[in-house]
Amino acid sequence: ERLAAEFAKELESLGVRVGKLEKRLDNVTITGEVRFSNYTYDKYLAKKENLRSRIFVNGQVNDRWKYTGMFENNQDLRTNASNGTVNLRRAWVAGSIGDVGVRAGRFPFKVAYGVIVDNEADGIDLTYRKGAFDVGLFAGRPAFSNILVAGDSSIGSPIGISPLTRVQVISGQVGYKFNKNLDLRVAYYDVEVKDNGGAADRNDAALEVVLGYKFSKELSAYAEYVRANKKLLGSDFGLAGTIDTKTGWAAGVLYSTLNRAKANTYALRANYYDIPTRALIDHTSELDPGFGFKGFSVGGSYMLAKNIEFAVDYFDYEGRKELKEIEEKLLWTRVLFYF
């Protein structure tokens, strides 16, 4: 008691400094994910094994705004080489201006179930919600991986395509929740292709209409209609004839009790796709054909322990119309550690 009385001012000062430090520490959080993956393909692509590490940094700017960054490293486990490169793959700010939600920078860009687009994007995303309605607007450039307009195809497209330098996407979407189980989403995409590897510049557009339904807390399903404004023509690539159609559809079902914090929880999923080329920006599947395709995927996830997940998915895709002889299968297994 005598010491406390003697050093009261010092203790008070220390308490203030510690309080400020604790507040500052709470302002920044760091989380991570480690994923071991095995990819076994059927025809065109070689088997690969990969270790992907991700570190997420989240910083609170103020009551309305925050920052998120994601550092990523990939290691090829089938070679003796060590890849020490770490990339800042995502970096964006998110907040609100009045009643409008805002994201700006490089962030995950996914609409509905990712049938048309699911990847990083550089741009700005605005969202407004009012009751059962929500409205969204995106403008920017998706970070392409292996899609047709980026000049690469996962499953050996016979079409020779040169890389381009710029693809600009403007997307608008409207959602309506009829009740706690049924919701509708309509999205429109305008895709401007510039410096198309020597080919003519072009504009594509696509429409998707998605209906989602929750049968229970665990079981949900969706059905989707997709329409492009143009068919894929052989003349786009110096070939003859029409290669693909304008319309397509997709459907999927998910049963999930998955909870990262609880062992023995799991998820089961299945999807079918029949998607035209000119409606694709970057499809959600790990196997992305790069042009119009049809086929199915099935898979599941299981929590082996808290924050340790085992997952497996099987994909069986083939091209549409004149590209139907191009087909590929993928068995993708992985173990994920979260921290």
Q: Which of helix, strand or coil describes residue 12? A: helix
Question: Can you give the pLDDT at residue 98?
Answer: 94
Question: Can you give the pLDDT at residue 150?
Answer: 35
Give the integer Cα–Cα distance in Å for 287 and 305.
28
Give the integer Cα–Cα distance in Å for 20 and 283.
46
Give the pair of three-digit tokens for residue 187. Answer: 């999205």
Beta partners for residue 92, in sequence order: 68, 105
Question: Can you give the pLDDT at residue 320?
Answer: 85
Give the integer Cα–Cα distance in Å for 121 and 196.
19
Of the chain, the end-to-end C-alpha distance in Å amounts to 43
* pLDDT tens profile 267-310: 999 999 999 988 888 889 998 776 789 999 999 999 999 999 99
Give the integer Cα–Cα distance in Å for 264 and 290.
36
Give the pair of three-digit tokens for residue 97. Answer: 């201006």
Where the chain has pLDDT below 70, the residues are: 15-25, 144-166, 195-200, 235-239, 290
What DSSP letter does each residue of 158-213 carry, written as one string? SS-----SEEEEEEEEEEEESSSSEEEEEEEEEEEEESBTTBPPEEEEEEEEEEEE
Give the integer Cα–Cα distance in Å for 221 and 223.
7
Beta partners for residue 202, in sequence order: 193
- Residues 6 or more apart whose CB falls under 8 angstroms from that of 6 comprise none
Q: Which residue has the tokens 């996962």?
A: 154
Classify residue 4 by its DSSP letter.
H
Query: Which of 151, 176, 171 has the alpha carbon at shortest distance from 236?
Result: 151
* pLDDT tens profile 55-75: 999 999 999 999 999 999 999
Question: Can you give the pLDDT at residue 167?
Answer: 77
C-alpha distances in Å from residue 337, one per residue of 49, 52, 64: 16, 11, 31
Beta partners for residue 211, in sequence order: 184, 223
